Structure 1
Amino acid sequence: MPQSPKLESRKLAAIDGVRHGFFTRQGGVSDGIYASLNGGVGSSDAAEKVAENRARMAKALDVAPERFLTAYQIHSPDVVVVGEPWTHETRPRADAIVTATPGIAIGVSTADCGPVLFADREKRVIGAAHAGWRGAFAGVLEATIAAMEKLGAARERLTVALGPMIRQASYEVGPEFVTRFVAAEPEYTRFFKHAGADGHAMFDLAGFIAWRLQQAGVGDIDDLGLDTFADPDRFYSYRRTTKRSEPDYGRHINAIALDR
């Protein structure tokens, strides 16, 4: 079985005892609109193909398929701590996972939202967060850091990587979106570029995520700088699918694990 293509953060890869990957859409068995490494259990892809794709990703991180874990994501700030694997039926509703248990890969599913992977450079504590605008706005990043600290991590020791997500050049939003952000914090105007007389703007999700991390005390941030919307050969994109009126879309898995 070939190893699944995956992207890595240079900074995370330099940490001993940590494996990670931002998996692209390449290297799987799905076809059609899901071609080919669709890891989305919530998609309408054939379940056996999704299972095989996820098994390939688990192999790439050197864990058993049943220890390759994602939650039921709900665009929330909710975080769960995992010590033992759960099943598909018992997976929790949350948008971030943290662990100090070796041999478990924790991951998040994305298709434009921001995948954010965390590791303490000294302690064996890791995290994964699904940071779309709703989750980032509601505090999922800060909640992930707090949960990691309860396991012994320290925010000043964290290395955090931002994976492929929709970027500002591709992310047009309406005036009500801008109003919601600026009403919460006037400084958020920095994350919008004017896009027309109708009040539309281009939103910098990655910049917003990085700023929230910096405000939380994280200094070591690595952004891969890749745009899911603009690169259909490598990435799935919910927004691109919507513009094309396609019936569904694949999901990426972005995961991190501690060596045994």
Structure 2
Amino acid sequence: MAGLPVMIPHWPGLPANVGALSTTRAGGVSLAPYGDGQGGGGLNLGVHVADDPNHVAQNRARLAAMLPAQPAWLNQVHGVAVVDAASLAGTVPDADASVASTPGAVCLVMTADCLPVLFSSNDGQVVGAAHAGWRGLAAGVLQRTVETMRERGAADILAWLGPAIGPQQFEVGQEVLQTFLDGALDAGERQAFQAAFAAIAGKPDKFLADMYALGHLMLARAGVTQVSGGQYCTVSEASRFYSYRRDGVTGRQASLIWRK
């Protein structure tokens, strides 16, 4: 795809009438600490991170030039609200996912360690995108996105896990593990969720949480088993991705999907 140095998902089975991409921190005009990590301009897309608003506007314009329409920007709040990407008319609702069945409507979520998940029905008629930090995962944002797609006629649904914090970087406390265990439905699920948290030697009640494994588990609960992606680490790949856990003050990359 011409233009920005974006990532095109390796997503077996994605219908030909669906477009999808993830941005990196490269290709924009933002200055450090929102730059590209190598002394150049960064493609920060977040308006809420204290970057120069003019730089963010230029970055968003560069992205929009590659798309069939302006994407559906969301004010992400770590919740479970899902909106229609085609109905926003320039508004920015409090929501953490969007779906679309209208050709050209672009679903978009921003991340800087949280898990972005892109969805498509197997016939490409309904698409969606969800922002899933651990709170959103536990609360059911992925399941709610799948439910909304099914309400629009999606049967078999494919998912792609975009760039997120890797399983060797996400240290959490007992309360995070317990939140997921409290939501497990049976003994088998409880064991599976427990396995997604690796104990850290010398740190009682501290664990390394595997966001990708948690994403798989939550998608399976929603009946989605055709899942691709999940091989990145936003913390470790500093030259490619923004990471809040690594840098604190940083930008946001985006994952997008649309019907052609």
> CA 1:17–1:121 in structure 2 vs 1: closer, same or farther (change >3 Å)?
same
Residue of structure 2 equivalent to 1:97: 98
Residue of structure 1 equivalent to 2:54: 48
1:68 aligns with 2:74: no
Residue of structure 2 equivalent to 1:238: 244
The one-letter code matched in structure 1 to 2:73 is: T
Residue of structure 2 equivalent to 1:195: 200
- Partners of 2:230 and 2:176 lie apart in 1 by 26
Match 1:80 to one of 70, 73, 83: 83
Question: Is the contact between residue 30 and residue 55 of structure 2 (CA under 8 Å) also seen in structure 1?
Answer: yes
Q: Secondary structure of 2:237's match?
A: coil
The one-letter code matched in structure 2 to 1:221 is: V
Residue of structure 2 equivalent to 1:21: 21
Query: For the aligned residues, what is the CA RMSD?
Result: 1.6
Structure 1, unaligned runs of 5 or more: 243-247
Structure 2, unaligned runs of 5 or more: 36-41, 185-189
- Partners of 1:111 and 1:240 lie apart in 2 by 10
Q: Secondary structure of 2:11's match?
A: helix
CA deviation after TM superposition for structure 1 residue 117, in Å: 0.3
CA deviation after TM superposition for structure 1 residue 211, in Å: 1.3
- Partners of 1:104 and 1:47 lie apart in 2 by 25
Deviation digits for residues 161-220 of structure 1 (CA, Å, limit 9, x no counterpart): 000000110111122322333343333211111102422110011100111112211121
Residue of structure 2 equivalent to 1:174: 173
- Partners of 1:125 and 1:39 lie apart in 2 by 25
Match 2:229 to one of 207, 223, 242: 223
TM-score scaled by length of structure 2: 0.89
- Partners of 1:118 and 1:147 lie apart in 2 by 11
- Partners of 1:24 and 1:152 lie apart in 2 by 32
The one-letter code matched in structure 1 to 2:16 is: D
Match 1:211 to one of 203, 214, 217: 217
- Partners of 2:4 and 2:181 lie apart in 1 by 41
- Partners of 1:13 and 1:45 lie apart in 2 by 38
Equivalent positions of 1:98-113 (< 5 A) are 98-113=99-114
CA deviation after TM superposition for structure 1 residue 86, in Å: 2.8
Query: 1 or 2, which has the higher helix percentage?
Result: 1
> CA 1:196–1:183 in structure 2 vs 1: closer, same or farther (change >3 Å)?
farther
> CA 1:109–1:13 in structure 2 vs 1: closer, same or farther (change >3 Å)?
farther
Residue of structure 1 equivalent to 2:187: none
CA deviation after TM superposition for structure 1 residue 104, in Å: 1.8
Residue of structure 1 equivalent to 2:132: 131
Percent of aligned pairs with the same amino acid: 36
CA deviation after TM superposition for structure 1 residue 57, in Å: 1.6
Q: Secondary structure of 1:54's match?
A: helix
Question: Number of paired residues?
Answer: 246
Q: Secondary structure of 1:239's match?
A: helix
- Partners of 1:212 and 1:52 lie apart in 2 by 36
CA deviation after TM superposition for structure 1 residue 249, in Å: 1.1
- Partners of 1:91 and 1:17 lie apart in 2 by 27
- Partners of 2:205 and 2:240 lie apart in 1 by 32
- Partners of 1:182 and 1:149 lie apart in 2 by 27
Question: Is the contact between residue 200 and residue 206 of structure 2 (CA under 8 Å) also seen in structure 1?
Answer: yes
> CA 1:250–1:12 in structure 2 vs 1: closer, same or farther (change >3 Å)?
farther
CA deviation after TM superposition for structure 1 residue 140, in Å: 0.3
Runs (4 or more) in structure 1 with deviation over 6 Å come to none
Deviation digits for residues 145-166 of structure 1 (CA, Å, limit 9, x no counterpart): 1111111111xx2111000000
